[in-house]
Amino acid sequence: MSTGWRELTVLLSELLQPLFAYQCNENADVAVLDIQTNSRRVHPGSLFVAVPGHTVDGHDFAPSAVESGAVALLVERRIPDLTVPQVVVPDTRRAAALLADVLYGHPSHKLRMIGVTGTNGKTTVTHIIAHVLETAGKQTGLLGTVGGRIGAETFPLQNTTPEAVDVHGYLQRMVDAGCSHGVMEVSSHALVERRVAGVDYKIAVFTNLTQDHLDFHKTMEDYAQAKRLLFARLGNLYASTRENNTYAIVNQDDPYRDVMLDATVAQSLTYGCSAGADVRAEHIRLTHNGTMMDVITPCGHMEVTTSLIGRFNVYNVLAAIAVGIVEQIPFDVMREALQSYPGVPGRCERVDAGQPFGIFVDYAHTPDGLENVLTSVREFASGDVITVVGCGGDRDKTKRPLMAAIAMRHSDFAIFTSDNPRTEDEVAILDDMVQGIPPGADHYLRCTDRREAIYAAVGRAKPGDVVVIAGKGHEDYQIIGRTKVHFDDRQEARAAVQARGTTTEQV
């Protein structure tokens, strides 16, 4: 889906309205058709925004953008010898977002926007929220890791949170499609890169903060500060219209809870399993088929049954219930929605090819995510837990030994393999991982070929065992170098079961 093909033009001077300070070397009454941050997407009528990136500087592509028909430039420093107007601002990423908000007619103000941030659980929580809202008859748009959804249309997204101009474009599509709500994952990268600047959130949700992305943020403190940005701006988007009708929904049991709560002027609602939580789960019953719990809230009590497994999903469900409370969704509708919730592809997704043992494909790609899924599976596995896991290339290297240690601790057998090696050597990634294996431990295999690893795991499983294939979840590709090759853990697991020729009773 393209984000927003507009037939109307708008004057550059109108687009510039939200900027407090800028310099323009020429008359800004030039007609603009769209905003592009990539010179390769520029066409006649575009405003080209030069973004200094992590790998290249967009300013270097301004001449080629002008050649392709850009009618004006948004820059951080003036570029000599170009004839089109140049608007100079201190931060082009932020300015591009604010201009896109104007270009698309402030779509986030016409939706009730819900942003979900945190290390783990964003996709799960956004999908549960969307299901709850839709069960209540509220049309809801969704943006996140497994793609976007607006009405009946679904579309892939390159990033969990798209770049700023696209975000506002998708929100306009939601408004046009008649949505009352927009629910989106807000990654820490997106917050740092101002991809959601100008989005008027009514609700921000914090799931948890554990180690990931230290290649980008360097320290946990910086990572927390990035997440905090979503809460700092709540109810505070435009200082002149500060209103306190916004909500911060925060995991009471997470150590970073107060970093988020202290950052915000919004009203707060906490959730969790400990006594102080406003929305609290009690009497939790975890089974291999799902979870039951009693949920105590400021508005009453609700018994919940869901097919989601594992204690971590109790938190995801509570976060969605807290949003439902703010949105005044009746309890019986929430209860029905949680019971009928079908799950997210690749999140503890059961693969059933008639084998007498369990297979789960899961997206755990952080130490905390892996520990959660493995300890959850351990609670109901009657036999061994066999884990297949790798770590992504060009990503946080410090999580590699930690994830291997967790896989060894919580599995009877672990197979370390490749997960999107990208531009790194897959053998070197495994070398980093196995540093985390305790001396003397030998219940593991190294196998760079992910297909062979899955076949090996399925091949050694006995009735009652559970095979967990972690890290790639819904992904249907393996990124090798800069190329994506088709690869789907679920397909491979099914094929491995067929190759083994097992068709007897299931666990």
Ligand X SMILES: Nc1ncnc2c1ncn2[C@@H]1O[C@H](COP(=O)(O)OP(=O)(O)OP(=O)(O)O)[C@@H](O)[C@H]1O
Ligand Y SMILES: CC(=O)N[C@H]1[C@@H](OP(=O)(O)OP(=O)(O)OC[C@H]2O[C@@H](n3ccc(=O)[nH]c3=O)[C@H](O)[C@@H]2O)O[C@H](CO)[C@@H](O)[C@@H]1O[C@H](C)C(=O)N[C@@H](C)C(=O)N[C@H](CCC(=O)O)C(=O)O
Ligand Z SMILES: N[C@H](CCC[C@H](N)C(=O)O)C(=O)O
Looking at the Cβ atoms of 194 and 233, the one nearer to ligand Y is 194
Pick 85 or 118: Cβ nearer ligand X: 118
Find the shortest distance in angstroms from Cβ 370 to ligand X: 7
CA of 249: how far to CAs of 317, 353, 435, in Å? 13, 40, 38
Question: Which residue matches tokens 């070197």?
Answer: 428
**CA–CA dist 140, 170 (Å, integer):** 12
Residue 312 interacts with ligand X (CB under 6 A): yes or no:
yes
Residue 291 is a binding residue for ligand X (CB under 6 A): no
Q: By rule CB under 6 A, what count of residues binds ligand Z?
A: 9
What mask, x for binding ligand X by CB under 6 A, covers residues 201 to 220? Answer: ------xx------------
In three-state secondary structure terms, 462 is coil
245 is in an annotated binding site: no
Q: How many angstroms separate the CA atoms of 320 and 129, rounded?
A: 5
Residue in 145, 172, 208, 366 binding Mg ion, rule: CB under 5 A: 145
Burial of 109: CB neighbours in 10 Å, binned 0-12, 13-18, 19+: middle
Q: CA–CA separation, 300 vs 324, rounded Å?
A: 13
Q: Does 364 bind ligand X (CB under 6 A)?
A: yes
39 is in an annotated binding site: yes
Q: Is 54 in the site for ligand Y (CB under 6 A)?
A: yes
Q: Which of residues 445-484 bind ligand Z (CB under 6 A)?
A: 471-472, 475
What's the token pair of residue 183? 């629910």
Pair of tokens at residue 9: 């033009």
Residue 362 contacts ligand X per CB under 6 A: yes
Residue 159 CB, nearest approach to ligand Y (Å): 3
Q: Strands across the sheet with 358-362, in order?
A: 349-350, 358-362, 466-470, 385-389, 413-416, 444-446
Q: Are 187 and 147 in contact (CB under 8 A)?
A: no
Q: CB-based contacts of 16: which residues, under 8 Å, 6+ apart?
A: 22, 24, 28, 87, 99
Among 124, 161, 355, 372, binds ligand Y (CB under 6 A): 161
Binding partner at 358 among ligand X, ligand Y, ligand Z, none, C-beta below 5 to 8 Å by kind: none
User: Is residue 471 part of an annotated ligand binding site?
Assistant: yes
289 is in an annotated binding site: no
Judged by CB under 6 A, the residue of 420, 433, 447, 465 near ligand Z is 420
The region of 152-160, 171-179, 219-227, 470-478 touching ligand Y under the rule CB under 6 A is 152-160
CB atoms within 10 A of CB 343: 19
Q: Which of 122, 217, 280, 472 binds ligand X (CB under 6 A)?
A: 122
Residue that is written with structure tokens 């790998």 in the block: 55
Residue 39 binding: pick among ligand X, Mg ion, ligand Y, none (C-beta 5-8 Å cut-off by kind): ligand Y
Q: Residues 423 to 462: which contact ligand X by CB under 6 A?
A: none
Among residues 93, 227, 395, 490, the one that binds ligand Z under rule CB under 6 A: 395
Considering only residues 295 to 334 of the shown chain, the ones binding ligand Z according to CB under 6 A are none
Q: How far apart are CA 505 and CA 355, in angstroms?
A: 7
252 is a site residue for ligand X (CB under 6 A): no
Q: Which does 54 bind (CB under 5 to 8 A by kind): Mg ion, ligand Y, ligand X, none?
A: ligand Y
**According to CB under 6 A, which one of 34, 76, 101, 163 is a site residue for ligand Y?**
163
Whether 433 contacts 466, CB under 8 Å? no
Gap between the Cα atoms of 278 and 276, Å rounded: 7
Radius of gyration for the chain, computed over Cα atoms and rounded to the nearest angstrom? 24
Residue 343 CA to residue 69 CA, distance in Å, equals 46
Pairing of strands 147-150, 140-144: antiparallel
The 3 state secondary structure assigned to 366-427 is CHHHHHHHHHHHHHHCCCCEEEEECCCCCCCCCHHHHHHHHHHHHCCEEEECCCCCECCCHH
Q: Which of 11, 56, 292, 428 binds ligand Y (CB under 6 A)?
A: 56
The region of 16-24, 51-59, 102-110, 276-284 touching ligand Y under the rule CB under 6 A is 51-59
In Å, what is the CA distance from 104 to each residue of 86, 109, 176?
Answer: 22, 11, 11
Give the one entry of ligand Y, ligand X, ligand Z, none that residue 347 binds, where binding means its C-beta sits below a cut-off of 5 to 8 angstroms depending on kind: ligand X
- Give the x/- contact pattern for Mg ion in 174-203, rule: CB under 5 A: -----------x------------------
Amino acid at 252: Q
Handedness of CA 306, 308, 312, 315 (dihedral sign): negative
| Contact string (CB under 6 A) for ligand X, positions 30-69, x = contact | ----------------------------------------
CA distance linking residue 160 with residue 168, whole number of Å: 15
Rule CB under 6 A: say whether 159 interacts with ligand Y: yes
Instruction: Scan residues 353-392 and list those touching ligand Z (CB under 6 A).
Output: 365, 392
Work out how close the CB of 438 gets to ligand X at its nearest, in angstroms, rounded to a whole number: 23
Which 129-168 residues touch ligand X, going by CB under 6 A? 145, 160
- Taking the complex as a whole, the smallest distance from the CB of residue 349 to ligand Y amounts, in Å, to 18
Residues lying near ligand Y in the complex (CB under 6 A) are found at 37-40, 51, 53-56, 58, 61, 158-161, 163, 187-190, 193, 195
Cite the annotated binding site for ATP by residue number.
Answer: 118-124
Residues lying near ligand X in the complex (CB under 6 A) are found at 120-124, 145, 160, 185, 207-208, 312, 315-316, 347, 362-364, 368-369, 372-373, 473
Residues lying near Mg ion in the complex (CB under 5 A) are found at 122-123, 145, 160, 185
